[in-house]
Amino acid sequence: MMSLSSCNSFATDYGVLKLERRSLLAELMSKGVRLTAQRRVLVEIIQTATAHLDVAALLKEAQKREPSINRATVYRTIDLLKKLRLVDELDLMHLNGEKHYYEVKTRRDHLHLACFQCGRIEEFAAPLFEELKAEISRHKGFQIQVVRLEVGGRCSSCRTSATSRKDRKEESPSRNRRATA
Ligand SMILES: [Zn+2]
Ligand SMILES: [Zn+2]
């Protein structure tokens, strides 16, 4: 069973390309959007998050700083950020049911690798992903505004620990044989 703390934290390896997140406050200001103190708290939490957060996690974190913030404030702020295309909404392979997670848009699109075993979410950006987008636009004449690609499977550390568990299992019968011989 995956724990919430191990679940869904950003992995630091971004693949081939470095990911740079956009600055929410600066972009909101440049668009002339005025923020209430409550919304500013939420924007700061989303900006500095070290994991992909869902509404419940956002609300909990926000209420620590500003107890008057309620669920409706969170939803309205997310809607605003989504409309301005400053955040992305993810379902992360539904590892935790129907929850949605939010993250500040990165300057370059990236994909998410979700581990079905430990819940770890890794981010990956690669030139090939950019090429795929260009090919889609070229072939379909489609102007891409949002791309979401999620990959589910087993992360490298879960694979490693599974392998060493298997090794131990394969070792023990031979040790027993030696012991009884
Ligand atoms: Zn894993
Ligand atoms: Zn991400």
Question: What's 178's domain CATH number?
Answer: 3.30.1490.190
What is the average per-residue pLDDT within 37-55?
93
Q: Kindly identify the ligand whose nearest atom is closest to the C-alpha of 158.
A: 1
Tell me the residue range of the domain where 166 lies: 109-181
pLDDT at 1 exceeding the cut of 50: no
Question: What's the CA-to-centroid distance between 127 and ligand 2, angstroms?
Answer: 16
In this predicted structure, what is the pLDDT of residue 14? Answer: 56
**Listed residues 42, 70, 105: the one ending a domain:** 105
User: What's the per-residue H, E or C state across 98-118?
Assistant: CCCEEEECECCCCEEEEECCC
Predicted confidence band of residue 12 (pLDDT cuts 50, 70, 90): very low
102's tokens: 């939010």
Q: What is the pLDDT of residues 150-168, one digit of tens each?
A: 999 999 999 998 877 777 7
Q: What is the pLDDT of residues 106-164, one digit of tens each?
A: 888 899 999 999 999 999 988 899 999 999 999 999 999 888 899 999 999 999 988 77
**Listed residues 80, 105, 130: the one ending a domain:** 105
CA-CA-CA-CA torsion sign (40, 43, 48, 49): positive
Q: Kindly identify the ligand whose nearest atom is closest to the C-alpha of 53.
A: 2
